[in-house]
């Protein structure tokens, strides 16, 4: 059976409002200036410790992490929504029954699974693996190997769908292919500049039509 791994933030869901607000809360607790949403989007990737390090520096980041998690856990669903085509694509692939689907994310796994339950995504997934489930994060090759082992998946029959260089690098580390969408942290130009990916799409509808032979809903203009 083929395996398709999906990143979560910026690929399947838009969760940047909650992430931004929780980072600002952490910054306020430390008396720091609040980051703009654009700055947060540019910093996200590699886990919250790295994101905060990019925003406030390596010295302050460790103290900010607990404040972030306190606020984030209490406001997990604020502004949360599916990205265009995500729900339709997962449901369409699941209905075909010729592949297993999983979430492979640097968001803490405990949050990723709560989000999947909240959005009704969980029944479509064979696995949902995130930060904290192992000592690793994308693009560590050990993390890529872990998700393959959890799904009993062969790299040659596995595909990653993501929105960032971390997703591309994780696929490279795991020996599987990667398709990218410019719906998250990086626009198409940035993705081309920071990866060697040949398949970069505007959204998941476009990606689905090009690679999964799925016809987008009637009336949708790609």
SS (H, E, C) the chain: CEEEEECCECCCEECHHHHHHHHHHHHHHCCCCCCCHHHHHHHCCCCHHHHHHHHHCCCCHHHHHHHHHHHHHHCCCCCCEECCCHHHHHHHHHHHCCEEEEEEEEEEHHHHHHHHHHHCCHHHCCEEEEECCCCCCCCCHHHHHHHHHHHCCCHHHEEEEECCHHHHHHHHHHCCEEEEECCCCCCHHHHHHHCCCCCEECCHHHHHHHHCCCCCCCCCCC
What value does the mean pLDDT of the chain take?
95
pTM recorded for the entire structure: 0.93
Q: What is the pLDDT of residue 217?
A: 83
Angstrom distance (rounded) from CA 33 to CA 81: 27
Segment 94-105 shows an average pLDDT of 97
Residue 185: its pLDDT value, please?
A: 86
What's the confidence (pLDDT) of residue 198?
87
Reported as a single tens digit per residue, the pLDDT across 139-161 is 999 999 999 999 999 999 999 99
Each residue's pLDDT tens digit, 50-96 = 999 999 999 999 999 999 999 999 999 999 999 999 999 999 999 99
- pLDDT number for residue 220: 63
Kindly state the average pLDDT of the residues 29-54.
92
Residue 101 has pLDDT above 60, yes or no: yes
Q: Across residues 153-177, what is the average pLDDT?
A: 97
Q: Are 122 and 128 in contact (CB under 8 A)?
A: yes
pLDDT on residue 204: 97
- Residue 221, pLDDT > 60, answer no
Query: What is the per-residue pLDDT across 1-21, written as a single tens digit (0 to 9) for each?
Result: 699 999 999 999 999 999 999
What are the structural domain ranges in the chain?
2-14+81-211, 16-74
Whether pLDDT at 219 is above 90:
no
Domain 2-14+81-211 falls in which CATH fold?
Rossmann fold (3.40.50)
Q: What is the pLDDT of residues 175-215, one digit of tens each?
A: 999 999 999 989 999 999 999 998 999 999 999 999 999 99
pLDDT for 150 equals 97
């Amino acid at each position: 059976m083929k395996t398709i791994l999906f990143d979560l933030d910026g690929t399947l869901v838009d969760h940047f409002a909650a992430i931004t607000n929780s980072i600002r809360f952490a910054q306020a607790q430390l008396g720091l200036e609040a980051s703009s949403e654009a700055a947060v989007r540019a910093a996200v990737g590699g886990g919250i410790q790295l994101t905060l390090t990019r925003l406030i520096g390596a010295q302050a980041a460790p103290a900010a992490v607990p404040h972030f998690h306190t606020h984030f856990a209490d406001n997990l669903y604020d502004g949360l929504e599916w990205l265009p085509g995500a729900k339709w694509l997962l449901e369409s692939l699941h209905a075909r029954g010729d592949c297993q689907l999983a979430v492979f994310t640097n968001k803490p796994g405990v949050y990723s699974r709560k989000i999947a339950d909240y959005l009704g995504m969980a029944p479509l997934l064979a696995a949902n693996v995130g930060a904290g489930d192992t000592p690793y994060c994308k693009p560590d090759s050990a993390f890529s190997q872990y998700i393959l082992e959890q799904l009993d998946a062969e790299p040659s029959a596995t595909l990653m769908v993501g929105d960032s260089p971390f997703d591309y690098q994780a696929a490279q580390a795991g020996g599987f292919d990667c398709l990218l969408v410019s719906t998250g942290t990086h626009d198409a130009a940035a993705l081309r500049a920071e990866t060697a990916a040949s398949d970069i799409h505007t959204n998941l509808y476009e990606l689905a039509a090009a690679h999964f032979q799925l016809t987008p809903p009637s009336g949708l203009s790609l």
